[in-house]
Structure 1
C-alpha cells in the first residue's frame, strides 16, 4: 500500500501509529486487522484499492463483527460481545455515514416511480437501481425491507 495508498488506508496507517503511541490495544488490534484485510484484497485484485473498494472491504469486516455479535449473544458470551462491539465501532468510523430509513424510503419511492415498478415481481430491478444510487450509504437488508413494503410484497 506504500505507493498506491488510498485515503482510507493512509488514515488507518496514521491512526495505527496514534493508537500505538497511546497504548490503545483495542484500537491498534482492530486497525491492524483492517489493514491486513485491505492488503489481502489488494493482493487478490493485483492492484492498489481505491477508496470505494476499501470501503467495501471495511463493510465486510463490520458485517463479520455483527454476525459474531449475534452468535456470541446466542451463546451467552457477553464478554466477547463487548469486545466485538468496540472493534466494530472503531471500524465504522472509517465508513461513510449511513442513510436513515426516511432517506432510503425516499430513494426507493423515486426508483419505483422512475422504473414503473408495480409489484413484488419488480423487486430485483428496483433493488439493483436503489443500491446503485445509495452505494455504500445504506444497509442492503434495510433497503430490501423498505422495497418489499413499498412494492406490497411484505410478509
Structure 2
C-alpha cells in the first residue's frame, strides 16, 4: 500500500474518531504530497522522496514546538509535538543510538575518514545510507563525536 492510500485511510479514521490533531497532521501530509506530485515532472514520488517529505514535516513540527516553548506557549508546543508523532508513524523505524553509532563507524571506515576535516565526506555517505532511519541533526552530532575521538 502506498503512502497516499495509507494517509487517506488514516484520515478517514481520524474523521470518524473526531481526532482534530491527527486530522490537521494528516491533511498537512496530504497537501504536501499533492504539491510535490504536481510540481514534479512525472507526477509520482519515489519512496525516498516520500520519506524526505515526511521528515521535513516532522522537523517543521519539532522546530515550531521549540519556538512555542521558548515563547512560553506550552499548549501550542504540545499540539505540534502530537502532530509530529502522527506523521512519524509513516516513517521507517528510527535507529537506536547504539545502532546509529555502529553504522556511522562502519561508514567512517569505508570512507577512510581520519579526522574532523573529513566530516563532509562522512556526512554525505551517512546521509544517503541512513536516509529515513535517523535525523540529520543526530547523525551530524554523532559523526562529530566519533571523529573527534579518533
TM range (shorter): over 0.9
- Aligned with residue 12 of structure 1, among 7, 18, 39: 7
- Aligned with residue 30 of structure 2, among 13, 32, 35: 35
Gaps of 5+ in 2: none
Counterparts of 1:118-137 in structure 2 under 5 Å?
118-137=114-133
Q: Which residue is 2:68 aligned to?
A: 72
SS in structure 1 opposite 2:30? Answer: helix
Q: Which residue is 1:55 aligned to?
A: 51
Q: Distance in 1 between matches of 2:148 and 2:17?
A: 53
Counterparts of 1:38-117 in structure 2 under 5 Å?
38-46=33-41, 47-117=43-113
Q: Return the TM-score normalized by structure 2.
A: 0.92
Q: Which residue is 2:137 aligned to?
A: 141
Aligned positions, number: 149
Q: Distance in 1 between matches of 2:146 and 2:46?
A: 34
Q: Distance in 1 between matches of 2:108 and 2:85?
A: 34
SS in structure 2 opposite 1:69? Answer: helix
Gaps of 5+ in 1: 1-5
Q: Return the TM-score normalized by structure 1.
A: 0.89
4+ long deviations beyond 6 Å: none
SS in structure 2 opposite 1:124? Answer: helix
Q: Distance in 2 between matches of 1:71 and 1:65?
A: 10
Q: Distance in 1 between matches of 2:47 and 2:95?
A: 19
